[in-house]
């Protein structure tokens, strides 16, 4: 899975916005400031996000993952403007509905349906290796060999991958291979281990944010789970930040629907491969 530019990162202390820390505005917006975007006195742009009911101000990053600065600071606080000229506050964003209130549809557990040796000269592993076929049609290849049982596959850290066990059903292996009849595309690789998915297979994600603080990472992941969506994490920027992702989704429409469910709490969420 390719790493795209990270748009946001957060800092939270005791459930409230934290200012003056790395990544936060030079000063907080006024207490009754209702805008979605805010530019501090240094000219750096921030975006409002809501996680578990707490308002966070996330720095907007450009395509090089650098803060967007040089903007005109937001106008003087509302407290300094005449009361009759103060804009009406925007409605509070709706909280993501708790998972308990949603009708759940059980998703089939992902299992390994077969393994095989990869011969020397293979296009992915010139010196050979080992391969595991998964029930959703994707395959994991470990160049040079090594175990590919559920525990070792889960330990790879592939975003969105959690193998529940092994199937001994030959028909399941045949179905998995049939899904790749049109070819495969590489979507993730690390240290000689590769994940491929059938052409046209699920490979879309909704990234809700990227965080330096583990507490913020878990809060965002919990919110995604609360929307009854699968959640994954990915290290980005050399491991300095952890991206929280919803998915994977098989179609653009499914990814768009997931983003719509998350945008109240994460207005900066975006769809990515």
Strands 12-13, 139-143: parallel, antiparallel or unpaired by DSSP?
unpaired
Kind and range of the H or E element at 179?
helix 170-179
Give SS3 for 198.
strand
pLDDT in tens, the chain (273 residues): 444 444 444 433 333 333 333 467 888 888 778 788 888 888 888 888 887 777 888 888 877 778 888 888 875 433 333 333 444 555 555 555 554 444 555 567 889 999 988 888 777 788 889 999 998 889 999 988 788 899 989 988 888 788 989 988 888 888 888 877 777 888 888 878 888 888 765 568 899 999 999 999 999 999 999 999 989 888 888 889 999 999 888 778 888 999 999 999 999 999 987
Residues 255, 166: Cα–Cα separation, whole Å: 29
pLDDT at 10: 42
- Measured distance CA(121)–CA(124) in Å, rounded: 8
Top CATH class of 204-272 equals alpha beta
**Whole-number Å distance between alpha carbons of 201 and 180:** 9
Confidence (pTM): 0.40
Q: Model confidence over 208-249: pLDDT tens digits?
A: 999 999 999 999 999 999 999 989 888 888 889 999 999 888
The full set of domain ranges for the chain reads 111-198, 204-272
Q: For 160-179, b where at least 16 C-beta lie within 10 A, e where not — what string?
A: bbebeeebeeeebbeebeeb
Residue 211: per-residue pLDDT: 94
* Sole residue written with tokens 């049109």: 182
């Amino acid at each position: 899975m390719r790493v795209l530019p990270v748009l946001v990162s957060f800092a939270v202390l005791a459930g409230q916005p934290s200012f003056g820390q790395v990544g936060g505005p030079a000063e907080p917006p006024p207490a009754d400031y209702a805008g979605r975007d805010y530019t501090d006195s240094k000219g750096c742009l921030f975006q409002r996000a809501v996680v578990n009911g707490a308002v966070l101000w996330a720095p907007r990053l450009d395509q090089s993952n650098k803060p967007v600065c040089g903007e005109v600071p937001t106008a003087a606080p509302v407290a300094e403007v005449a009361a009759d000229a103060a804009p009406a506050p925007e409605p509070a964003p709706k909280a993501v509905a708790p998972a308990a209130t949603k009708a759940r549809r059980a998703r089939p557990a992902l299992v390994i349906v077969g393994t095989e040796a990869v011969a020397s000269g293979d296009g992915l592993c010139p010196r050979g290796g080992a391969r595991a076929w998964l029930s959703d049609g994707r395959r994991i290849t470990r160049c040079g060999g090594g175990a590919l049982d559920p525990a070792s596959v889960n330990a790879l850290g592939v975003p969105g991958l959690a193998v529940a066990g092994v199937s001994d059903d030959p028909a399941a292996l045949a179905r998995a291979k049939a899904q790749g009849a049109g070819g495969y595309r590489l979507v993730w690789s690390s240290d000689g281990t590769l994940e491929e998915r059938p052409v046209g297979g699920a490979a879309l994600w909704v990234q809700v944010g990227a965080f330096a603080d583990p507490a913020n990472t878990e809060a965002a992941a919990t919110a995604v789970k609360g929307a009854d969506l699968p959640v994954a994490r990915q290290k980005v920027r050399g491991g300095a930040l952890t991206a929280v992702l919803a998915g994977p989704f098989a179609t653009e429409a499914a990814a768009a629907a997931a983003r719509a469910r998350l945008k109240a709490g994460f207005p900066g969420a975006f769809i990515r491969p």
